[in-house]
Structure 1
Amino acid sequence: MKLAVKTLDGADAGSVSVADEVFGLEPRADILHRMVRYQLAKRRAGTHAVKNRADVTGSTKKFVKQKGSGGARHGNKKAPQFRSGGRAFGPVVRDHATALPKKVRALALKHALSSKAKASELIVLEDANLSDAKTKILLAKLKELGLSNALVIDGAEVNENFARAAGNIAQLDVLPVQGINVYDILRRDVLVLTKAALGALEERFK
């Protein structure tokens, strides 16, 4: 399939052919859902923790005799039912990541790209270079392209001026092609790929 190419000023710059195996698939919500859940689970820190009765500082002396007190049979006051006691069944430090086959992850990226292409929410740019790192200049260019909520994917290296100018704009993300991922693609209204990014993606899926 062919996609129109635009310049950063909004002018036409010809067209480019892309692989139907990457941009022409029928998007499957189940694969995209699995991938998003995988990404969100993997990025969780999992550092939440509490002190159980083994971690609480205190005496282990039996503080009440076993029989004759008329109360329950307690051991020491580090038990969870006492004030300053340890937490019972509290959270522990753990990894929340789940397993997802590499082939499914690659397929999910193809389906995410295809979903943007099918919904006409994919723009191809000649390049994403700015001569000055001015947010005002970039905002004017984005207005020409009709972009207010977008993810911009550049080549192996992002133009420094473009990245600095985009850093002050809400709802605009800029990533190098090696950082492209399903979650960031789906969370923005429009996906913007440079020709350098397209070439890198073709090499990746070859």
Structure 2
Amino acid sequence: MNGNLFVVVAPSGAGKTSLVSKLLEGDHNIKLSVSFTTRAPREGEEPGRDYHFVSRATFEAMIAAGDFLEHAEVYGNYYGTSRKWIEAELAGDHDVLLEIDYQGAQQVRGLFPTMVGIFILPPSFAELRRRLEGRGKDSAEAVEKRMASARQEISHVLEFEYIIVNERFEAALTDLVSVVRAARVSRAQQRLRLPKLLSEFR
């Protein structure tokens, strides 16, 4: 596997999706993994771009066949990452990025110990609440559920190699880009990419 596997985790409202979108706009060698899900498409979502939408029966058949790198059931719907697609992209020298939760990250690390784990933190608990309420998408009850989920998610933050606090978006984006660039010039990656050059100096 020549590519890097980046796994980005964050509580809802921390700004993960916006940061990842900007990263992908500026770096075309990273491919975003599109998850499979059993939930219905939301307005504006496109099959194959946002998710691969499948039936529950199809998803469970894929579980049985070992098709998923990781999968979980969240609020009554399944979500999963295609194992074959990830392996093919990494073997083809592409970097791959996953946006998943901490439980999915734990499953992925069991299969890919060299994955690069990145956790996006909000600057404070109060700011996370302000962002969630400011979106106007959720009821007060839903916001409380997301805040409780954030506490659980953030309790696993030290399982990740890199922790980025998204207080100012541009600074957080610079940090994210820096992590990606550093991973590409790590000893492990350069050993794979530069054997001919290194052999010239032996």
The reply to whether TM is greater than 0.5 is no
Which structure is higher in RCO with an 8 Å CA cutoff and minimum separation 6?
2
**TM-score, L = length of structure 2:** 0.22
Larger Rg: 1
**TM-score, L = length of structure 1:** 0.21
Which structure dedicates a bigger proportion of its chain to helix?
2
